[in-house]
Homo-oligomer: A and B are copies of this chain.
Amino acid sequence: MTVQPDWGCFATPHGNIHMPCFAPVGTQATVKTLSPDEVREVGAELVLANTYHLYLRPGADRVARLGGLHRFMGWDGPILTDSGGFQVFSLSDMRKVDADGVTFRSHLDGSLHRFTPELVMDIQAKLGADIIMALDECPEPLDRAYNEEALARTHAWAARCAENQRRPQEQALFGIVQGGIFPDLRLESAAFLTALDLPGYAIGGLAVGETKEQMYATLDVVTPALPADRPRYLMGVGAPEDIVEAVARGLDLFDSVMPTRIARHGAIFTRHGRVNLRNARFADEPGPLEEGCDCYACTHFSTAYVHHLIRASEIFGLRLTTLHNLRFLQTLMRDIRNHIASGTFHAFKASFLRRYLCSKKTHSEATHP
């Protein structure tokens, strides 16, 4: 379990992860709409799955009996499971937090459950992911008093997770830096977690209500305070412009449901910005979603066909937009890695953002410039 400094390669028992990396999210042990083969084909190396969801259904013991998460979902590459903290604080119907853990009601059936650092380590050991996360509390990023209070718990829980890890030889435990948009809290959190000497560190609690400027400013403060020779993971961020900005600040790893979620609403990434395929202007477009894209959707079907499928609520349309968006991000990550290697990242960043954020162009101009 080693990472090579400076945009290297993070080794796991299920293969290497080339950094910087974007991980598609397979919340319920499936990247929505796709087969594991398709996830591999778009170029993804790492898949994220959600401890909260899998604990509730089908259950960690069941997944373990069936051979672990890799075998269960048919994905033989690296997997990262989150700690469930974020979902408990955003999805569950009721939650009551105390020093020892958090009690919550399932969003599925209202049943009562309790997560402690030890149980979350136990669940993630049973699931068997390659990278596991410490239990954290996820407060509103702008609420100072709540962030101060929650941070003490998040740190105590991280220490207990590190002490109670079940399979340290096979699973890399990452800590999660919290502290909202407050520089002093973020630095305190980075210092505390760094002292635990973990194989990687995540920045949590961003992209959930603050402005982009506040997010970038927080990254400016906290990223340099985390070891550069370990992966630095920005949780829940998948917008192309945010990934590019975060890589410029030293971040290595990203995940988000956004690329797959917007795909299921008919929205796709292009080099010239986001495009909504439901728009009537695509009804007669014979060209691909994006000229030059090598994804399955772009190499096999017209934009008019995908538009038709989306308008007709056909599942195959959601597959095609999902494949395109994930391929777009994997191509972006590959370009980022290449430009870092050749020392041209900052020029690439400027040119990418100029094109991507110029949203006034029509799709026709965008795909056939």
Question: Which A residues are closer than 8 A to B by beta carbons?
Answer: 28-30, 32-36, 57-58, 62, 65-67, 72-74, 283-284, 286, 296, 300-302, 304-305, 308-309, 311-312, 314-319
The one of B33, B300, B319 that contacts A74, using a Cβ cutoff of 8 Å: B300
Beyond A283-B58, A284-B62, A286-B66, whether A29 also contacts B305 by CB under 8 A is yes
Contact A66 B284 (CB under 8 A): yes
Query: Which residues in B have their C-beta under 8 angstroms from that of A302?
Result: 66, 72
17 CB < 8 A contacts A-B: A28-B308, A28-B309, A28-B312, A29-B305, A29-B308, A30-B317, A32-B314, A32-B315, A34-B316, A35-B296, A57-B312, A62-B284, A66-B302, A67-B286, A72-B305, A74-B301, A315-B319
Cα A309 to Cα B73 with chains together (Å): 10
CB distance from A91 to the nearest CB of B (A): 14
Q: Which residue of B lies closest to A320 (CB)?
A: B35
Most chain B beta-carbon neighbours within 10 Å: one of A65, A309, A315 = A315
Query: Which residues in B have their C-beta under 8 angstroms from that of A33?
Result: 315-316
The one of B32, B58, B314, B316 that contacts A308, using a Cβ cutoff of 8 Å: B58
Contact A305 B28 (CB under 8 A): no
- What number of copies of this chain does the assembly contain? 2
Contact B312 A66 (CB under 8 A): no
Query: Which residues in B have their C-beta under 8 angstroms from that of A65?
Result: 284
Contact A35 B308 (CB under 8 A): no
Cα A311 to Cα B28 with chains together (Å): 11
Q: Which residue of B lies closest to A286 (CB)?
A: B66
**Besides the known contacts A28-B312, A67-B286, 13 further A-B residue pairs in the complex with CB atoms under 8 A apart:** A28-B309, A29-B305, A30-B314, A35-B296, A57-B312, A58-B283, A58-B304, A58-B311, A62-B284, A62-B304, A66-B286, A74-B300, A315-B318
Query: Which residues in B have their C-beta under 8 angstroms from that of A30?
Result: 309, 314, 316-317
Counting from the closest, the 5 A-B pairs by CB-CB distance are: A58-B308, A30-B316, A33-B315, A28-B312, A30-B314
Query: Which residues in B have their C-beta under 8 angstroms from that of A62?
Result: 283-284, 304
Query: Which residues in B have their C-beta under 8 angstroms from that of A284?
Result: 62, 65-66
Cα A71 to Cα B123 with chains together (Å): 49
Cα A311 to Cα B34 with chains together (Å): 17
Q: Which residue of B lies closest to A34 (CB)?
A: B316
Query: Which residues in B have their C-beta under 8 angstroms from that of A32?
Result: 314-316
Cα A315 to Cα B319 with chains together (Å): 9
Q: Which residue of B lies closest to A53 (CB)?
A: B312
Query: Which residues in B have their C-beta under 8 angstroms from that of A34?
Result: 316
Contact A305 B35 (CB under 8 A): no
